[in-house]
Amino acid sequence: SGLASGARYGLLIKGGAALETLGKIRTVAFDKTGTLTMGQPQVTDVVPVEGDVANVLAKAAAVERGSSHPLGAAIVKEAELRGLDMPRVFGGTVAAPGKSVMGRISSGFVTVASPLHAAEQALLDDTAQERISALEDEGKTVVTVCEGKRLIGLIALRDELRADASEAVRTLRALGIRPVMLTGDNLRCAQGIADAAGIEVRASLLPDDKLAAISGYKAEAPIAMVGDGINDAPALAASSVGVAMGSGTDVALETADAALLKNRVTGVAEMVTLSRATIINIWQNIALALGLKSVFLVTSLSGITPLWMAILADTGATVLVTANALRLLRFKPQTQENAIIVHSSINANGSRPKISSQIA
Ligand SMILES: Nc1ncnc2c1ncn2[C@@H]1O[C@H](COP(=O)(O)OP(=O)(O)OP(=O)(O)O)[C@@H](O)[C@H]1O
Ligand SMILES: [Zn+2]
């Protein structure tokens, strides 16, 4: 009944074990991009160092074209909006998760990378470094564009916080759970987003660092991780309960133990509440069943109640237990955004989520 009730609110939980663990978690780790934020960054600034804006944007977009990263998608969209001709890429592109993407165009190798990992390609001088810090202080994510070993420009992007992110964080704290944001983005930008959401943050984490962070928390107490599967699928799999955003990748939906179909991050707290209610309900039922049975065992053995009455009472207990379990179907999440509850398990993009077949 707990699983069915969750499904009605767009909370999909893959089976009883995950439902049970959710009630015990002490920490919830959130990915930033696409989880606490909308995951639809927009290009805000293009700073050319060599050539003009179009040169930087077109080359960056060329190597990002095959990339599934939200930053890459934003760069390609911006180049298309400006009607730029993207140079041809020869021999495909190479992505280093959490760091960069690289490809070869006719004039040489182009790399789009985080400032932290740009140093592997080119040295950032003081002017570039200052410009990066200034943009990051505005809450933007900056990527560097290099051609060969030369920095040719910077692209700044901004992603908006989800409307229910701070409510999600507050609700978890009220349940005695510690929320923390794990991100591959730089600390300046991440700190701005984290402050707005009211959450503590660990930034500049590579996918392996996210995994290590999860294992660290998990060694202390059960932890849930909420992510979209881009550079965090291993962390989702390693946490006690992995929760995928409904808009996330197929990998996320497959590795996760649960999913938030309506992309409401407040759903994590609702899952915990539902789990706790279910666990209490199960213990009530066990106590009820055993209690009634022992009363009638004693009384019928000692001849106080006739056998037929004991049998009838046994059936009655089953009815009571079932009725108590069915109360869970009346479960309503406490958070305010319930107006947008949809009674179906269809994704926002219209496709059926893969895990829907597994609802008990
Ligand atoms: N395809 C790419 N194009 C440009 N930069 C990239 C790309 N992939 C990774 N990066 C750089 O590496 C950084 C970390 O990437 P990662 O995907 O781990 O984190 P994120 O998506 O920014 O944030 P989060 O970890 O919260 O999802 C990015 O902020 C960006 O600077
Ligand atoms: Zn991410």
Residue with tokens 């179909």: 261
Which listed ligand is nearest to 207 at the C-alpha?
1
Please tell me the predicted confidence (pLDDT) of residue 333. Answer: 67
72: its two tokens:
């890459």
Please tell me the predicted confidence (pLDDT) of residue 325. Answer: 74
Superfamily of domain 1-39+161-336: HAD superfamily/HAD-like (3.40.50.1000)
Neighbours of ion ligand 2 (CB under 5 A): 31, 33, 230
Cα–Cα separations (whole angstroms), residue 339 to 82, 217, 342: 38, 34, 9
228 lines ligand 1 (CB under 6 A): no
In this prediction, the answer to ipTM > 0.90 reads yes
Q: Where in the chain is the domain with CATH 3.40.1110.10?
A: 42-158
Cα–Cα separations (whole angstroms), residue 195 to 188, 192, 226: 11, 5, 19
Give the neighbor-by-neighbor strand order of the sheet with 100-105. Answer: 42-48, 150-158, 141-147, 108-113, 100-105, 90-96
> Under a CB-based contact definition with an 8 Å cutoff, are residues 194 and 201 in contact?
yes
Task: For residue 245, report the distance from its CA to the centre of ligand 1, in Å.
Answer: 18
Please tell me the predicted confidence (pLDDT) of residue 347. Answer: 37
Which listed ligand is nearest to 115 at the C-alpha?
1
Statement: 42-158 belongs to CATH 3.40.1110.10:
yes
Please tell me the predicted confidence (pLDDT) of residue 244. Answer: 92
∠ CA(74), CA(139), CA(143), 5° rounding?
A: 45
65 lines ligand 1 (CB under 6 A): no
Cα–Cα separations (whole angstroms), residue 57 to 152, 184, 327: 10, 22, 57
Q: Best of 101, 231, 236 to mutate for ligand 1, by most ligand atoms within 8 A of CB? A: 231
95: its two tokens:
């992505």
Q: Where in the chain is the domain with CATH 3.40.50.1000?
A: 1-39+161-336
Average pLDDT, the chain: 85
- Per-10-residue mean pLDDT, the chain, length 360: 70 86 95 92 96 97 92 97 96 92 95 89 87 92 95 96 94 96 93 93 94 96 93 92 87 87 89 87 81 79 78 78 75 49 34 36
> Under a CB-based contact definition with an 8 Å cutoff, are residues 254 and 242 in contact?
no
Please tell me the predicted confidence (pLDDT) of residue 130. Answer: 95
Cα–Cα separations (whole angstroms), residue 4 to 9, 19, 169, 224, 272: 9, 11, 25, 21, 15
76 lines ligand 1 (CB under 6 A): no
Of all protein residues, whose CA lies closest to atom 29 belonging to ligand 1?
A: 185
114 lines ligand 1 (CB under 6 A): yes
C-alpha 100/C-alpha 113 separation (Å) is: 4
Of all protein residues, whose CA lies closest to atom 22 belonging to ligand 1?
A: 185
